[in-house]
Structure 1
Amino acid sequence: MESVVSKKNFALIGAAGYIAPRHMKAIKETGNNLVAALDPYDGIGIIDSHFPEADFFTEFERFDRFVDKWRRNTGKKIDYVSICSPNYLHDSHIRFALKSGADAICEKPLVLNPWNIDQLKIIEEETGQKVYNILQLRLHPSIIALKEKVQKELAENPDKTYDIDLTYLTSRGKWYFISWKGNEAKSGGIASNIGVHFYDMLCWIFGDIEENIVHLKTADTNAGFFKLKNANVRWFLSVNYDYIPEEVKAQGQRTYRSITVDGEEIEFSGGFTDLHTRSYEEILKGNGFGLDEAYGSINTVSTIRNLAPVGLKGEYHPFCKKVIG
């Protein structure tokens, strides 16, 4: 456990969001303190399980004033601002953190476009603060094991090309399309919302994207093909329950996640729950994933958003036939 002296002070933006409890838990489990939280929605009883003493705000202006006054009145500072707000607000909230003298810990996607990262690098230099992105798949034991295996194989055969199928379906109800998540201008679309950390993980293991093709692009489904330095990837992402395999539906499940490498399934369904705490542990040691690590996957989703779909041509994912029969 951290000693009292070394406790870090946190603020959290987007406290009522789906992912915020994992951040609260990570702050608590690393022995630190949540000073203030912000969310326009005030039904936030979850905070009682973690930090009942934290100040809470529903208006950004009052939160901003509190953070500034707290620093001046107590002689302390907010060391980190954890950002769990809607995707399109990340850029602005990261800027707020840096200009408030804090490091930013931001959920993925870090921002919606690569040029936002270029600007944030300038603000990092101006303020001397750091931006960290939660890329928790890089800390997953199964993914680390896969990376080590691939590195070993590529050391022996540098020209090897792997064939990969990425399939991720996470069913969402009608609410999804009414919320900010269903608005491409706010979420970045399906690829940004649910695909960005998978793209990051694949490029981390198999190298940068050399070719990017989109086969399908609808409100609830994106599918396409990547040529990476050492892999060909067919990918399919959807929030539509109808596309989930029948045998998975029969088990009462509404999510289906599969990555096959050369026909072999990579098992990584478990082990997700504590990865935010692991991420925080690394960030607190100064080992977090910064702007440079985030750049590739943000560039990828930005490109996907702007590419016209080519339809069922070339190396498309077999699930595409579920959409276009």
Structure 2
Amino acid sequence: MTSYALIGAAGYIAPRHMRAIAETGGNLLVAYDPNDSVGILDSHFPDAQFFTEFEQFDRHIDQIRRSGRAIDFAAICSPNYLHDAHCRFAMRAGADAICEKPLVLDPASIDGLAQIERDTGRKISTILQLRLHPAIIALRERFANSNKRHKVELTYITSRGQWYHASWKGEEGKSGGVAMNIGVHFFDMLSFVFGGVSRNEAHLREPERAAGSLECERADVSWFLSINRNDLPESVRGKKTTFRSIKVDGEEIEFSEGFTDLHTRSYEEILAGRGFGLDDVRTSIDIVSDFRGLPITKANGVHPFAIKANRP
């Protein structure tokens, strides 16, 4: 049976990893989080050891290793700015890492992690779940051999309350900002479907919103991201808290459903040796890292949601 440790057990995304571990026949031996609101463990792994101090967690991992048992994987669900350090810890403890997005905030950190992979013989896999979404796979196949450039409009609005700004997610140095925290897997999806990026422009960069445009190999993309519920379209406001939309050449691509089991699918692929590694994640991290340093422009291709809000 595959054995796991979990870092960040009290986080928002951790239950999806617990479910994925359980549904793929794994066993969670030990979990860590500085916060102790982790009763969700009882739903899947009531016998898992739990620590609120990293030093005790580290010692327990070492005791497991010295006893002749093994932690095969460390699932990392900690705040974004800690992913790099926790991946390093996992590999040096003799485990492969399964890390939530974004893998790192700085592209240079990818090279450092690659070196530790080589030094330890361990591997990092990251969760790029949209690559496994049936609608996105179909979209990629549909446009893989297209000889024309396409116009793509991506909109993602997911409401967050005032707590967001009081948490690490509201600190750009810890989360990477809205574009990184809620957008990085969409940028990965866009390059996955439409090819590499040759131009990157910033049209809006605020604590709750971001917008820009990308020139991909096969498409010109305008995108808008927001955590402000006032940006939700009138048609869904008061009914839903999240709005996702991809339009290709004016055609709406339906992908609003099918998200709930993508972490389990991700684990299945990782266990089969088909996980997404460091090379896969580089393009999306580069996109957001570049975006943070770009001047705000009012070029052509500004997303209509940004225009509607008088931004830019």
1-structure distance, mates of 2:257, 2:176: 27
1:283-316: CA deviation from partner (whole Å, max 9, x where unpaired): 0011000000011101111111111212x33210
Indicate which of 286, 290, 304 corresponds to 2:291: 304
Match of 1:176 in 2: 164
Indicate which of 278, 291, 297 corresponds to 1:291: 278
Structural mapping, 1:74-89, within 5 Å: 75-89=68-82
Structure 1 residue 323, shift from structure 2 partner: 2.7
Aligned-residue CA RMSD in angstroms? 0.9
2-structure distance, mates of 1:43, 1:275: 25
Match of 1:248 in 2: 236
Match of 1:36 in 2: 30
1:51 aligns to 2:37 (yes or no): no
SS of 1:40's partner is coil
SS of 1:213's partner is strand
SS of 1:273's partner is coil
2-structure distance, mates of 1:53, 1:94: 24
1:191 aligns to 2:184 (yes or no): no
SS of 2:247's partner is strand
1-structure distance, mates of 2:308, 2:102: 28
Structure 1 residue 255, shift from structure 2 partner: 1.1
**TM-score under structure 2 length normalisation:** 0.98
1-structure distance, mates of 2:61, 2:279: 28
Structure 1 residue 186, shift from structure 2 partner: 0.1
Match of 2:120 in 1: 127
1:115-140: CA deviation from partner (whole Å, max 9, x where unpaired): 00010000000000000000000001
Q: What letter matches 1:76 in structure 2?
A: R
Gaps of 5+ in 1: 1-6
Match of 1:208 in 2: 196
Identity %: 59
Match of 1:9 in 2: 3
Total equivalences in the alignment: 311
Aligned partners of 1:23 and 1:276 also within 8 Å: yes
Q: What letter matches 1:193 in structure 2?
A: N
2-structure distance, mates of 1:242, 1:170: 10
Q: What letter matches 2:277 in structure 1?
A: G
Deviation beyond 3 Å, 4+ runs, structure 1:
none
2-structure distance, mates of 1:163, 1:317: 12
Q: What letter matches 1:36 in structure 2?
A: V
SS of 2:90's partner is helix
1:99 aligns to 2:92 (yes or no): yes
Match of 1:236 in 2: 224
2-structure distance, mates of 1:188, 1:116: 14
1-structure distance, mates of 2:97, 2:235: 42
1:319 aligns to 2:305 (yes or no): yes
SS of 2:182's partner is helix
Aligned partners of 1:243 and 1:322 also within 8 Å: no
2-structure distance, mates of 1:82, 1:308: 36
**TM-score under structure 1 length normalisation:** 0.94
SS of 1:248's partner is coil
Structure 1 residue 324, shift from structure 2 partner: 1.8
Match of 1:20 in 2: 14
1:135-168: CA deviation from partner (whole Å, max 9, x where unpaired): 00000111111111112x42xx2xx111000000
Structure 1 residue 243, shift from structure 2 partner: 1.1
2-structure distance, mates of 1:190, 1:61: 31
Indicate which of 255, 259, 262 corresponds to 1:272: 259
